[in-house]
Amino acid sequence: MEDKKLRLFSAVQPSGIPTIANYIGAIKNWVTLQDEYECIYSIADLHTLTVKQVPAELRQRTLELLALYLACGVDPEKSVMFVQSHVPQHAELTWILNTMTYPGELSRMTQYKDKSKKHAENVNMGLMDYPVLMAADILLYNAAVVPVGKDQKQHLEIARDLAVRFNNRYSPTFTVPEGFIPKMGANIMSLQDPEHKMSKSDANENAFISMNDDRDTIIRKFKRAVTDSENLIAFDENRKGISNLLTIYCVFSGKTAGQAEAEFKGVGYGDFKLAVGETVANTICPIAERKKQYLADRDYLDKIIIEGKEKASYMAQKMLAKVYKKVGLYTPERKK
């Protein structure tokens, strides 16, 4: 008898065009993980609302993100793909978990502090409650595994704490999820300021590589990437710029750190940055072309969204019904 696959949950916000950091940290891994796990992949549109959005743009980016998932190789026959807001159980479970979450836990979140500074004119409760909604996303599907970047580890810890807290208060209900952090590429840094992570909202367009960038743009941005004056291509935690470029090269070329260092021994920074840019473009540009093809078939995208909603809703409702019963909410039984 074949062992049942563990369930895995992951999501990306349609808050802008994803960067190669989003691709490396999440979507790239999804393609290989879908053969090993029972995978549920969401488009986390509710999470985007913590920052003001242009409604028409948010709707379009939702479709574009689904098309990107498909273009990268996520298979709707192997994985469930759905839009978060189409499954209202996410918001319903968030309320239950909110009654068990302490304000101090949320106010200590690093991302809450950072975003509060960045969006001082719009510090809302959704921004603070983001980790609880994220916990609901995960726990609703009894996910055992959650791919996370280093900046999301705090949020995963809250999800784990809430799962344990609920299980102890009522009875075993939720799976306590474990984080999956890729061996290389968990943190891709800005090309212009390698002390900070790459972000699609960076005001400096040379700081990130968008999944929509064309070949010339990709190569130009890498040519302008910040390095140092040593002209030595080797991993060194004190030389963040060159180490970041080497990490990106390794991820896209499939080479190990040692192989990359050997390949570029004695090579100048200019030739190295050109090689990184070309290697990244060789992967990103074909993905962008496939994405355009999927976007041209709106009926197909809608079909996947509807089917994904049905599958996710079925799983989510089973869990929510169990939670409602355990916390004491009354539901009349349907008579035969």
- The residues carrying an active-site annotation are 115, 197, 200
- Whole-angstrom distance between the N-terminal and C-terminal Cα of the chain? 36
> What's the CA gap between 100 and 326, in Å, rounded?
14
> What's the CA gap between 80 and 215, in Å, rounded?
31
> What's the CA gap between 334 and 50, in Å, rounded?
38
DSSP symbols for 23-50 = IIIIIHHHHHHHHHSEEEEEE-HHHHTT
- Is residue 225 within 8 Å of 241, Cβ to Cβ? yes
> What's the CA gap between 227 and 192, in Å, rounded?
9
> What's the CA gap between 157 and 281, in Å, rounded?
36
Quote the crossing angle between the two packed helices 153-169 and 110-118, to the nearest 10°.
130
Name the CA radius of gyration of the chain, rounded.
Answer: 21
Q: Which of 241, 256, 252 is nearest to 276 (CA)?
A: 252
Classify 86 as helix, strand or coil.
helix
